[in-house]
Structure 1
Amino acid sequence: MSGFGIGAPAVAAKIEELVAFGVKKIIAVGTGGGLNPNLKVGDILLCEEAVRDEGASYHYLDSNLPAHADPGLVVQLENIGHQQGLNLYRGSSWTIDCVYRETREEVDYFVHQGVSAVDMESSAVFAVAQYLGVSSAVILVISDLLRADKDWEPYYHHSPVKKAMVRACELAVNALMD
């Protein structure tokens, strides 16, 4: 799933529509800001779970429940990715509602919690899929770097990000066809 709009409400609506048409497996491909200092621009992250710091997921899951990917689908993506020669990372994402509003304190907090990336859709993908009883995964291409001790480094339109997006989409298609 790609190109559906920005943010949790947009992805929630798209998943509702896809599931209404009989889709049983959702793989969202998007971009995320790298929080983990080991991640570089253009790296591909298989998001296993998401910190819910947005509003849409709470319409699908109780606040005390985690939003997470289907572990079997993550393993499938990882196996196919390795067959394709991809260097993949696994980790979590902090999902927010508003672009450009992360504070240095928040970034520092989530880095110290071991969160790998920040995005605007992952927790909604997982929550809606969990609620509707379908399998889901999220593939994030690291498009920019957020570090508590540095200025923001955006690279959205640079070649490594574009190339990684193509590889991530190919990975998703191959997993759906497997």
Structure 2
Amino acid sequence: MSLSLDLILVPQGAEYQAVKRAQLPIPIVAIPAGLTAVEASLKTWRSQPQYRQAKRVLVMGLGGSLIPQLRPGDVVLCDRCLSPQGESQGADDHLLRQLAHLYEKQGQPLPQYSVYSSDRILHLAQQKQQLAQTSGAAVVDMEGWAIWQAFPHVAMIRVISDDCQQDLPDISKAIAPNGNLKPITLTQAFLKQPAAAMKLIQGSLQGLHQLTQTAHQLNPHLTP
């Protein structure tokens, strides 16, 4: 079975490096963190000839859990994306079916859930639990909605890095408006809540390892 894709989009930094390690045969593009930064970057990229014709796009990266059933390291196929304004758009049916079949044939059937694209970092467990109740989503990210609006055929795979039952460090000030990470501010946030920071680091490392494995499983099936 072959899976035809034009691009794979991955948040920059550790997530991008995790997917790159799988040495996939199609272009992998690093995107910034945050909906506004992603929207700005996509406008620039879409003006470049190598990306202008891209239509079939897979988003890969880490995500936060909004429900108790999803724990760090779990892999989710996102079948619908929700915006902060309450809008909703489904994943491309053909890509979704192909991905579901591909992983199922490899003995790793992926649960399908909706993803909510947040315009801010949710670091309190109560925030996540409330969002699950109000939106019906099971996963939270910060990039998906912008990508869904920019390409006609989108699917998304997220690997859970943090659960919905423990508070995380407040790292909202550690991400600049352009989506870049501010290392000193991040370190300061971690030092204020060392136990929560350690939990986040452990979950992220677990998620990154699984992200590489999940990308590896795509490799034999991808065609540009």
Same topology, TM > 0.5: yes
User: Could you say which TM-score interval applies, normalised by the shorter chain?
Assistant: 0.7 to 0.9
TM-score using structure 1 length: 0.75
After superposition, the CA RMSD in angstroms is 2.7
Q: 1:15 to 1:169 in 2, by over 3 A?
A: farther
2:69 counterpart of 1:38 = yes
Quote how far apart the aligned CAs of 1:15 are: 4.4
**Equivalent in 133, 144, 157 of residue 139 of structure 1:** 157
| Aligned-pair identity (%) | 24
Q: 1:65 to 1:116 in 2, by over 3 A?
A: closer
Q: 1:102 to 1:72 in 2, by over 3 A?
A: farther
What letter matches 2:55 in structure 1? K
What letter matches 1:135 in structure 2? H
Where does residue 118 of structure 1 map in the other structure? Answer: 140
Quote how far apart the aligned CAs of 1:101 are: 5.4
Partner SS state of residue 126, structure 1: helix
Contact 1:45 1:139 in 2 (8 A): yes
CA distance in 2, matches of 1:157, 1:169: 16
CA distance in 2, matches of 1:100, 1:110: 10
Matched residues, number: 161
TM-score using structure 2 length: 0.61
Quote how far apart the aligned CAs of 1:84 are: 2.4
Query: Quick one: higher RCO (CA 8 Å, sep 6+), 1 or 2?
Result: 1
Q: Structure 1: where are the runs of 5+ without partners?
A: 54-62
List aligned pairs for 1:95-174, cutoff 5 A. Answer: 95-100=117-122, 104=126, 106-112=127-133, 113-129=135-151, 134-147=152-165, 150-152=166-168, 154=200, 155-158=202-205, 160-171=206-217, 173=219
CA distance in 1, matches of 2:219, 2:34: 22
Where does residue 6 of structure 1 map in the other structure? Answer: 33
Q: Which has the larger radius of gyration?
A: 2
Where does residue 66 of structure 1 map in the other structure? Answer: 88
List aligned pairs for 1:12-51, cutoff 5 A. Answer: 12-16=39-43, 17=45, 20-51=51-82
Q: 1:38 to 1:157 in 2, by over 3 A?
A: closer
Q: Structure 2: where are the runs of 5+ without partners?
A: 1-8, 13-30, 169-198
Contact 1:95 1:118 in 2 (8 A): yes
